[in-house]
Structure formats: structure tokens, C-alpha cells
Chain A
Amino acid sequence: MKLIANLTLLALSAALLTACSKDENAVTTQPVQSVTVRDLAADPTSTTAVSTTASNGTAVQPLPATGKYTLYSLRDNKVIANTDSASNKWDIGFRSTSIIVNGGAIRSGQGGANVYTGTFDALTAIPTSTTFAQDQSPTQLAVPSGSGNGWYNYSSTTNLVSAIPGRVLLLRTGDGTKYAKLEILSYYLGAPASPTSTTPSRYFTFRYTYQPNGSMTLN
């Protein structure tokens, strides 16, 4: 694998967390900030083009996928090693178009997710009526798989996966105590405006807002 993830705003996030921890008694006065994660590799199949020798017909050979989820901690804004999959350190995981949460019969954490329809910016608090689904089985995930069911659409004409605009994942963290909202922005390396079917895929760009104080307000 050539490139795992290009995590930006890590420093910003760390600064934010320190700020919060300093102001423990000023509970909700500190506005939470949204963080953007770019090109998080989610088990890409083809990362480097094998040199093409047209004469004997050898084309690009995709590298085999690992079949493993890239696990992520929203609080720490970083990738959690796959060896920690049976912990509640991670909140959300990505593998190609599949998204998992750390909660449910097949997970060890207390997390959950709800696919909310609306814009990320307009959502200032998780509605109190929200029910958080969990990963009950590989075919029954909190974030439903399949085109049009969960977070993405697949276009037969362009052969592209695109994050459905207006879908926001409302998340409960792996430890079951915090909440966040998360919007997938792109499935392609570099989040290009016009990806093609040859653009390397399975690279998530997303933004999220994590509320460290345990409340459901997100602004």
C-alpha cells in the first residue's frame, strides 16, 4: 500500500481537545468544530499501476485487498489498529463501500448509527427521537449496504460510487457515551470533482463533528 491516509487537521483537533479539557466547568460554551479527514484508505484494491506491456496484453493488475476494515476513532481523529478491533477504542470502520460501527451483536463496543436525511450544516443537534441501529450481522449493518440504501449511490452509466448528498451519519461512539455527526464527501482518491472509473477508489474523504461533552448538541 502506497499511501494509507492523509489526515489533516489533526493538530487542530488536538488543540481543540486540550482546550476542552482545560475548561471542564464551562460545559457547553465551547463550540464543537467540524473536522475533515481526507483520503482515508478503505482497503483499496488497486493502488499502484503495474507497468503495462501492451505487446503481450498485460494490463494493470490490481493488488489483492486485505479484506480488513480501516477502524477510526472520532475522539482521537486517528486510525485504530485492526488488532484493536475487539475493543471500544474505535467508533466507525470502512472497507470499500461497507461502513461498520462499533456496536451490536457482532461488535464489542456500545456504538450505533442512524442514517439521517438533511444537510450536515443545518443539523445542530441529534434529534431526541433518533434510534441508533447496530451491526447485528454482516448482512444487517447499522449503515445499510447497497446502492441507495445507505450512504452511497452507484451509477450504472458512469460506473461510479458517489456519496448520496444529504445523508448524514449520526453516530454513537464505541464507548457508548459520546455523539457525532459524519458526512461522507468522496469515495475517490483526492476527492476529485469529476472522478472517472479509473480513479483509484475506496479512499474516503469525510467530515465530522464530535461532541466531547456527551450531549447531543452539535454546534
Chain B
Amino acid sequence: MLTNLLLFTFFQQPAAPPADTMRSRPLDAIVVTATRTERQVGSLPMPVTVVGKTQIQQSGSLRLNDILREQTGLTIVSDHGQGLQIQGFAPDYTLILVDGEPLIGRTAGTLDLNRLTAGNIKQIEVVKGPSSSLYGSEALAGVVNIITESPTRTQGSVSARYGANRTSDLTADVALRQGKTNLYLFGNRYASAGYDLTPETYGNTISPFTNYTGSGRLTSQLTNRVKLTLTGRYFAESQTANAQLTDQQIVLGTGKVNEYTINPVVTHQVSDAWKLMYRYYRSGYRTSSDLRYQTTGVDYDASYFRQTFNRPELVVERMIRSRHFLTLGVGYIGESVAATRYPGRQVFSTRYSFAQFEWVPTRRLTVIAGGRYDNHSQYASQFSPKLSARYEVSPTIALRASSGVGFKAPDFRQLYLNFDNGVVGYSVFGTQELAAGIARLQQQGQIAEILADPARFGNIRAESSMAYNLGIAANFQQKYNLPLLLSVNLFRNDVRDLIETQVVAQKTNGQNVFSYTNLNRVYTQGAEVDGSYRLTVGAGRLVVSAGYQYLDARDKSVVDAIRAGQVFRRNPETLVTEQVKMADYGGLLNRSRHMANLKFFYELPRHGISASVRGIYRSRYGFSDRNGNLILDVDNEYVPGYVTWHLTAAKTIRQLTVQAGVDNLTGYTNPQNIPTLAGRLWYVSLRWNWQQRAETQLNSL
């Protein structure tokens, strides 16, 4: 959030960040997400992953999900859009920010990361562990903050890319500077013909689509102490939709997504010690789809979803004795949603305030304590504290620990959804709509059988977690002159009242009626190891990085039941029943126990050559129960593990860069379980960069 303000070179930096021996190291990026203040990533007491523009470009990533899936401990999972799994949490539990402001449009919980082009990303910051103490609801598993470009000199670029599946990407941007005012404009068009992994069935696996992103930012230093930033973004997508109904009839149509954001920020540096920020953010998100019968053109299903989000916020920063930092904030969120699937227009509001104190008693120790109080219009108030500390044992080794509370309020969907899927035939009701929905279906004679008591769904509670992260980071540069970075992080999240979909009834058409319920007591725990080593190879340099995450995510009630000898399984062939042992329990579905990556980035600057080889591994993960005990415990309940390899090579001649690449080199696919994994994809791209020389820039425009 502060990046767009603070990263300008001419900005008067009030004071140096806390004393930090790692500051001179080139690998240590500046991040803002973890503390809402500008800090070097190595100096933070919580685990933060930073991905810079160079890595995004060298990886040939087009969309946000492309680059995030390659980071240690992160994986992309699909559920009505491609979202991020962090520390074993589903995508709903990670807050996605662009320049510090939240993205909206979680029609079914997942915020589709495919919506975000990588073209204007300057840096991606991923904070693992709860950050509700600063950001409130949704920041339970972590926070992803996309920092967009904000150049301070006149420059421009145009790039074009074409590849398999007739996927094309056109990107252009221009930055202008005059005096103390900067203007940045960005445009992107992304289109694909989609693909079909199952030609034997009707319809594409991924249907053809085209989308456009436009964004702009105006920054102006109004006076010595006051700066204005105005940012806006617009996104529009159109995708072909088609489906074959159970009666063989075909319905066709178009699905549209539109999104905009407006974000004016005034920063007032009152004095060296005081800073005020007035922020306002508004976002609107809408989708619509219109399906019609192919033969007759008669309306089959038309739907829409409209969400708005308004947030004024005031943040005060106070520096105390040039060492300690106090951050205070207060704000209001007004949200609304109207959709074919919700009755009427539903409104939420939240009043919140937060405080964070960064205490730096000695050069080696940093302690950050903070908390946030959220007062919801629909729910009991939430208080989310967090305490973290970092201690530098030696110039090489630092220890860090953090503990905090995260929460996620039930969303619109979980409360108010009233949805009958016309194509497949299932129904989903929010908890507040369930009783009426079931009654209506019963009246229509659509309910074959009630499978769970609807009254039980009654009052859904906010989900919350208590998290612990303990890490050690080693940087061998200063003392051993070795360009080696190593870090280990251990994590544990104890989650209460996790909200999951649950079947309430079976319909006469064989499909289900779903609602949402609190699934008590889940935990995720694990370890993450990350390392990178920079070495010289000939005239070039090679960066080798590797990462690994071990994850253990379990339902505590299942663990208790297995321990009590109450869980059994039946061999489907012999029909013989046996007791399930703890070692057989595979934990929560869709979680891989092992995830790893190995990446090589090579650069030969003198010849303008760069190349990368990246391998991403995900071990097997559960997708559904097959032997009647509803838990993951036998081999055929897993999706097999897999590796994908990705290659790029690029050559830069003056202002022109040519890049070629192959994604998923081995062409691994699993149409049934991983439809979003296309086969082998090649591409070529051309990028032209232009930059005005620094000494003449004041005369530009």
C-alpha cells in the first residue's frame, strides 16, 4: 500500500529503517506488506516471499498465478477460479491486495488470480501467517500484495507474445514525468482460444476468452510535505460459455467480467516524526452470463453478480526517538452485493481500527506488537492481535518468531446464496436462506431425501485461527563472502469453525443441495526450507534456488476418532472392514504433503542473454473419498503427484528483447483432476523498451 508513495526516489524518507546489518545486500528487497511500513525483507520478524520484476520477466509469466505457483510453499488450486493455497489454507483465506488495496469479486470464495496481468507488476510480496492484525478479515493464511509499476522517469515499452492455443498477449506502457508530477499508463490485451483435454466429450476444457486491463497512476508532489497519488484500474473479460445438458441439448452464451478500482491517496508528512495518510478506495466488480439454447435461441439461464466496496481510511505514522515506530489506523468499509443468486441487495459494513508498535530496543532486536479491532454490521466484533520478534544472533544468523490471530468473517455467499445450477442441477443455499430454499424445493417435489438437519446450519460463526511461525534465516554474504541465503520456517495454524460446504439433501434429479457449516478444529502445520546461491559461470552469473514445503493438514475430530479406534474402512473388492490406523490418514483433501521447486536463472549481461529452467513438484493430494469413511486413507483417493518443467531463453539487442519459452515441457496432463493444466505450451515474445536518459528528463513533456 505505501509502496507507490515511498518508492519514489525524490520522496523525503523520514528516517532510516531500524538498524540492520543486512541492508547493503542486493538480494534484500524492500517490502511494505508485512508491517505497512517500508522494511527490508530480511529485517522482518515474519516469513515474507518477494518476487521481483526481473524474475517475472525471466520466467515468461503472463498472469499472477503463473508466477506464484513457482514460489516455495505456494500452490495454485482451482475452485471457480485459480487461487492460492498458503500453508494448507484454501484460497478464500488469503487476502489479495493491489498496491495495498483489496481485490473483490470472490463469487465462489476464490479470487481468480488469472484476472491479474503480470505486465505491470513491479514486485509481489507474500506474507505468510495471519495478518488480520493489520488487514482484518481474509488475511488468515496470509496476504499477497501486488506492487504495480510506478516509474519516476519518462519511459515506455511495448511487448507482444504469441503461443500455443492461439494465446496472445499485448502489453504497452508509458511513463511521463514533468517537474514533480508523474503519469503512468498501462494497457494489456490477453486472449486465448482455450483448449480441450477431453475431445470425446462436448465442450472445451477451457473456453476461448479475451480480456483487457487498463491502469493509470498520477502522482504529484503538491508541496514539500503533501503528495497526491491517484490510481485507477479497469479490467474486462469476455469468455465463451457452452454446455451440453443432460437431455443432450446444447446451450451457448457469453460470460462477462468487469472490474474497476479508484484509489486516491494523500500523504502528509507533517514533521519528521509524524505522517498522515488519507486513503480512499472504491472497487466495483460485476459478472454476467447469458446462456441460450443453440437450436431455438430461447433463454436458458441469465445471471449476474455485482459487488461494490468502499473504504475510507486514515493512517497515522509516528516515529519515536528515531528508532521506534507507531502506526495507527482507522477506517470504514461499506460493501454491497446484488446477484441473481442472492435475494435482494445485501449490505455489509465494518468499522475498524488498528495499531502497531515497532520497538527496536537494540540494534539486534526488533519486536512488533499490533492488533486490530473489527466491528461488523452482521457479526460479533473481532479482535486480532499479533506479536512478532526478530533477533540477530550474528551477522549471519537471525531468528524470528511470530504469533497471531487471524479471522475470516462468513462472506455474502455463505449467508445469502440462493442458487440452482441449471446445467448440472445442484442447489446451494447460504445459511440464512437454507430453510426457505429447502421448503421451496420440497414444495416443488424436488427433494428426494433430507440428509442433514437444516436447522443445524442455523447461525454460522466467523472462522478464526491461532498461528505460530518460527524461523531462522542465514545469510552468508557478510561474514563468509558467500552469496548463499538459507531460511527455514516452521508453522502451525490451529483453526476453529472453518466453514465448508456440506450436503443437506439429495434432489430427485440425483444432484445435491449444499449449504455451509462450521467444520470445527482443523490444523495445518509444516516446515518450509528455502535457499538460493549465486555463482559465476564464465562471464555470466547463475542463480540456483530451491525450495521445499512439508505440510500436514488434518481435521482434529478425525484424528481423535482414529485415535479412539472409531474409524474403519471397507475394502471395496472383498467388502471386508478393517480399522483405520493413524498412519493411513492422509489429512485434508487437496493438500500435498510435499511441494518443491528447483530453479536456475542464468544471465550473461554482456551479450544480453538470459535463460531459465524451473521445475515445480507437487506430491499426490487427496480429491475425494472412495471407501465410505469420508476421510482420505487409501491410494485411489489421491491425484498422483507430478512435476512440470518450464524453460525460457531471451536475447536483448539494444532496446529489443526476444524471448522464447516452453511451459510444461513434458506435456503432463490430468484432464479429470487438473483441467487447468494444459499440455505443453510454447511461446515467443518481443519486447521493446525505451527510457529517456536521466539528465534530460526534467525537460521532457
Q: Which residues of A contact B (CB under 8 A)?
A: 54, 57-59, 96-97, 117, 119-121, 146-148, 152-159, 162-167, 183, 185-186, 191-194, 197, 205
Does B514 lie within 8 Å of A155, measured CB to CB?
no
Among candidates A147, A164, A166, A194, residue contacting B572 with C-beta atoms closer than 8 Å: A194
Expressed in whole angstroms, the Cα–Cα distance for A185 and B506 within the complex equals: 21
Q: B680 an interface residue at 8 Å Cβ cutoff?
A: no
Q: Identify which of B453, B628, B630 gathers the most chain A CB atoms within 10 Å of its CB.
A: B628
Q: Identify which of B246, B570, B630 gathers the most chain A CB atoms within 10 Å of its CB.
A: B570
Return chain A residues, CB-CB under 8 Å to B629. 153, 164-166
Shortest beta-carbon distance from A172 to chain B in Å: 23
Does B626 lie within 8 Å of A147, measured CB to CB?
no
Does A166 lie within 8 Å of B566, measured CB to CB?
yes
Return chain B residues, CB-CB under 8 Å to A185. 570, 575
Does B624 lie within 8 Å of A155, measured CB to CB?
yes
| Known contacts A97-B449, A154-B503, A193-B572; A119 and B628 CB within 8 A of each other | no
Chain B residues numbered 588-637 whose CB sits less than 8 Å from any CB in chain A: 623-630
Expressed in whole angstroms, the Cα–Cα distance for A165 and B630 within the complex equals: 10
Q: B567 an interface residue at 8 Å Cβ cutoff?
A: yes
Shortest beta-carbon distance from B169 to chain A in Å: 35
Does B626 lie within 8 Å of A146, measured CB to CB?
no
Closest to B512 in A: A156
Return chain A residues, CB-CB under 8 Å to B503. 147, 154, 156
| Known contacts A156-B502, A166-B566; A193 and B573 CB within 8 A of each other | yes
Does A165 lie within 8 Å of B570, measured CB to CB?
yes
Does B630 lie within 8 Å of A166, measured CB to CB?
no
Expressed in whole angstroms, the Cα–Cα distance for A159 and B578 within the complex equals: 24
Chain B residues numbered 482-530 whose CB sits less than 8 Å from any CB in chain A: 501-503, 506, 510-512, 514
Expressed in whole angstroms, the Cα–Cα distance for A59 and B577 within the complex equals: 38
Give the interface size bracket for B toward A: 35 or more
Does B628 lie within 8 Å of A159, measured CB to CB?
no
Among candidates B453, B511, B628, residue contacting A164 with C-beta atoms closer than 8 Å: B628
Does A191 lie within 8 Å of B510, measured CB to CB?
no
Expressed in whole angstroms, the Cα–Cα distance for A8 and B493 within the complex equals: 53
Shortest beta-carbon distance from A129 to chain B in Å: 17
Shortest beta-carbon distance from B638 to chain A in Å: 14
Does B626 lie within 8 Å of A194, measured CB to CB?
yes
Q: B224 an interface residue at 8 Å Cβ cutoff?
A: no
Among candidates B449, B573, B624, B627, residue contacting A157 with C-beta atoms closer than 8 Å: B624
Expressed in whole angstroms, the Cα–Cα distance for A183 and B452 within the complex equals: 22
Q: B699 an interface residue at 8 Å Cβ cutoff?
A: no
Does B630 lie within 8 Å of A96, measured CB to CB?
no
Q: B54 an interface residue at 8 Å Cβ cutoff?
A: no
Expressed in whole angstroms, the Cα–Cα distance for A205 and B626 within the complex equals: 18
Does A148 lie within 8 Å of B630, measured CB to CB?
yes
Beyond the given A155-B624, A156-B512, A166-B566, could you list 11 further A-B residue pairs with CB under 8 A, ordered by the A residue number? A59-B248, A96-B449, A119-B568, A146-B453, A148-B452, A158-B624, A159-B510, A164-B629, A165-B570, A165-B578, A166-B629
Nearest first, the 6 A-B pairs at minimum CB distance are A166-B568, A162-B628, A193-B572, A165-B568, A165-B570, A57-B247
In the assembled complex, 15 residue pairs joining A and B whose CB atoms fall closer than 8 Å, in A order, are A54-B248, A57-B248, A57-B249, A119-B579, A146-B451, A153-B630, A154-B451, A156-B501, A162-B627, A165-B569, A165-B570, A165-B577, A186-B575, A192-B572, A194-B626
Q: B360 an interface residue at 8 Å Cβ cutoff?
A: no
Shortest beta-carbon distance from B449 to chain A in Å: 7
Expressed in whole angstroms, the Cα–Cα distance for A163 and B577 within the complex equals: 11
Closest to B578 in A: A119
Q: Identify which of A121, A147, A163, A183 gathers the most chain B CB atoms within 10 Å of its CB.
A: A147
Q: B330 an interface residue at 8 Å Cβ cutoff?
A: no
Does B511 lie within 8 Å of A159, measured CB to CB?
yes
Return chain B residues, CB-CB under 8 Å to A119. 568, 577-579
Expressed in whole angstroms, the Cα–Cα distance for A165 and B567 within the complex equals: 8
Among candidates A58, A152, A156, residue contacting B514 with C-beta atoms closer than 8 Å: A156
Chain B residues numbered 235-280 whose CB sits less than 8 Å from any CB in chain A: 246-249
Q: B450 an interface residue at 8 Å Cβ cutoff?
A: yes
Closest to B295 in A: A57
Closest to B245 in A: A57
Does A165 lie within 8 Å of B452, measured CB to CB?
no
Return chain A residues, CB-CB under 8 Å to B452. 146-148
| Known contacts A147-B503, A193-B572; A158 and B626 CB within 8 A of each other | yes
Closest to A46 in B: B510
Shortest beta-carbon distance from A161 to chain B in Å: 9
Return chain A residues, CB-CB under 8 Å to B626. 158, 194
Chain B residues numbered 536-581 whose CB sits less than 8 Å from any CB in chain A: 566-570, 572-573, 575, 577-579
Return chain B residues, CB-CB under 8 Å to A97. 449
| Known contacts A153-B628, A165-B570, A166-B567; A59 and B246 CB within 8 A of each other | yes
Shortest beta-carbon distance from B224 to chain A in Å: 61
Does B450 lie within 8 Å of A146, measured CB to CB?
yes
Return chain A residues, CB-CB under 8 Å to B453. 146
Chain B residues numbered 268-302 whose CB sits less than 8 Å from any CB in chain A: none
Expressed in whole angstroms, the Cα–Cα distance for A147 and B450 within the complex equals: 9
Return chain A residues, CB-CB under 8 Å to B247. 57-59
Q: Identify which of A157, A158, A166 gathers the most chain B CB atoms within 10 Å of its CB.
A: A166
Shortest beta-carbon distance from B200 to chain A in Å: 16
Return chain B residues, CB-CB under 8 Å to A186. 575
Expressed in whole angstroms, the Cα–Cα distance for A185 and B569 within the complex equals: 11
Return chain B residues, CB-CB under 8 Å to A163. 570, 628
Does A191 lie within 8 Å of B511, measured CB to CB?
no
| Known contacts A59-B246, A193-B572; A166 and B449 CB within 8 A of each other | no
Chain B residues numbered 446-503 whose CB sits less than 8 Å from any CB in chain A: 448-453, 501-503
Among candidates B450, B502, B510, B568, residue contacting A197 with C-beta atoms closer than 8 Å: B510
Shortest beta-carbon distance from A150 to chain B in Å: 11
Expressed in whole angstroms, the Cα–Cα distance for A119 and B573 within the complex equals: 17
Return chain A residues, CB-CB under 8 Å to B514. 156
Return chain B residues, CB-CB under 8 Å to A54. 248
Return chain A residues, CB-CB under 8 Å to B502. 156
Does A159 lie within 8 Å of B512, measured CB to CB?
yes
Does B630 lie within 8 Å of A155, measured CB to CB?
yes
Return chain B residues, CB-CB under 8 Å to A165. 568-570, 577-578, 627-629
Does B624 lie within 8 Å of A117, measured CB to CB?
no
Chain B residues numbered 338-376 whose CB sits less than 8 Å from any CB in chain A: none
Return chain A residues, CB-CB under 8 Å to B578. 119, 165
Return chain A residues, CB-CB under 8 Å to B248. 54, 57, 59
Expressed in whole angstroms, the Cα–Cα distance for A166 and B573 within the complex equals: 16
Does A155 lie within 8 Å of B625, measured CB to CB?
yes
Among candidates A146, A156, A183, residue contacting B577 with C-beta atoms closer than 8 Å: A183
Closest to B514 in A: A156
